[in-house]
Chain A
Amino acid sequence: RKEVEQDPGPFNVPEGATVAFNCTYSNSASQSFFWYRQDCRKEPKLLMSVYSSGNEDGRFTAQLNRASQYISLLIRDSKLSDSATYLCVAFTGGGNKLTFGTGTQLKVEL
């Protein structure tokens, strides 16, 4: 089982839709999680940090479920500019080891 797993998608949604991605992690000791956004041929950019049960920032909401070992990202009122790959990231080991999920591709269409 991979340490961090995501549905690769693509998720094709119309503009204005609400879309949710899930990410599961295998290490129950993981404490911190992050969602990054990556545009084609660009570097990943931090979208949200998830340290406790969840976090909300405008149209974006992240939830953490420790019992089931998954985190989710909800995007409301999708914009064309939200089209990107969303990477789920977890601290999975000692030191400063961050592990990335495979990423979920989102395409928002007119």
Chain B
Amino acid sequence: GAVVSQHPSRVICKSGTSVKIECRSLDFQATTMFWYRQFPKKSLMLMATSNEGSKATYEQGVEKDKFLINHASLTLSTLTVTSAHPEDSSFYICSAQRPGTSGSYEQYFGPGTRLTVT
């Protein structure tokens, strides 16, 4: 199956600092990647769609200046949480899209990054 990695897996930062999370598709090229966040015992919430070579598309209510997304290559998208605050503490998950075998598209998810802001 397709492999998507995230780095770091876990990060603790001080309030006011910025944190960058990387998402890589290891064995396929992905023109589209997605970023989600998940709070404990809750479902995944889509934050933004990351398109290679163009600006990301953010979901309603997600601040684009706070969550900077860069999709500079077909295998790498980054999410930078700027001026992080404790309420930004969450589990961040990325996914990468690739064509399936029957005309559909499939999403493969990374292992997630646990961000804790102190």
Decide if A and B are genuine partners: no
Binding site for B on A (CB under 8 A): none
